[in-house]
Amino acid sequence: MPFILLALLVLGLIFGPGLWVKRVLKKYSEPRDDLPGTGGELAAHLLERFELEGVTLETTERGDHYDPQAKAIRLTEPVMNGKSLTAVATAAHEFGHALQHQKDYQPLNTRTVLAQNGAILEKIAGGAIFLIPVLSVIPGLAMFSRVLLLVIIGSMFLSVFIHLVTLPVEFDASFNRALPILRDGKYISMQDQTEVRKILLACALTYVSQAMFSVLNIGRWIRLLRR
């Protein structure tokens, strides 16, 4: 019985955050005619209001995010053209990252550097995945396949670390940047503030769910290393 409870707890920690995030974002994605505009219109308005010169607004299929290198706020189609609480809050959250960049917010700069290095290591790990089956069957080279396994596991650990380092950045974008803008600018009503807080929390916790899945993948690769 204790083992079953432990297993359920682990599964809850791994899958729980992601399921909750998806549930919240979907729940408040219904169109609202009483909102002043779409997520994209809000982001464009805020860029002009705060005079963030050089920052572009783009539509993407790779998830809502702000790219510090390209200085681009990228929103998915439902957020860019959606007139819902989820669209408006998500757009404000991503604008919060652009505002962090303009203010030279150090935690964002740190995350950006870590993400760049993580991307390089991820590419190396990707190549290692293809080399391992080849090296494992060549006499005398099997040991190198284990070294490559360690590289892959190291890449995943770095990914988890980056996601955890990202948390303060995400919470700042949601609650120190986006929420005051939405509330004080009267882009949302008093009645919607509780729901918007939930959406902004979901935006901030997106990386937690990704980190939990990375932990699950690390466990799989470690089991391979022990064989």
Please identify every residue annotated as catalytic. 94
3-state secondary structure at position 7: helix
Structure tokens at 69: 């290198």
Q: Which residues contact 25 (CB under 8 A, 6 or more apart)?
A: 86, 90, 199, 202
Query: Which residues is 66 bridged to in the sheet?
Result: 73
Spatial contact of 207 and 107, defined as CB atoms under 8 Å apart: no
| DSSP state for residue 172 in the 8-state scheme | I
Enumerate the H helices of 28-141 as residue ranges: 39-49, 77-80, 85-102, 106-136
- Dihedrals phi, psi of 48, to nearest 5 degrees: -75, -40
Q: Which helix (DSSP H) or strand (DSSP E) does residue 56 occupy? A: strand 56-59
Rounded distance between C-alpha atoms, residue 113 and residue 32, angstroms: 39
Sheet of 72-75: strand order equals 56-59, 72-75, 65-67
Query: Which residues is 57 bridged to in the sheet?
Result: 73
3-state secondary structure at position 222: helix
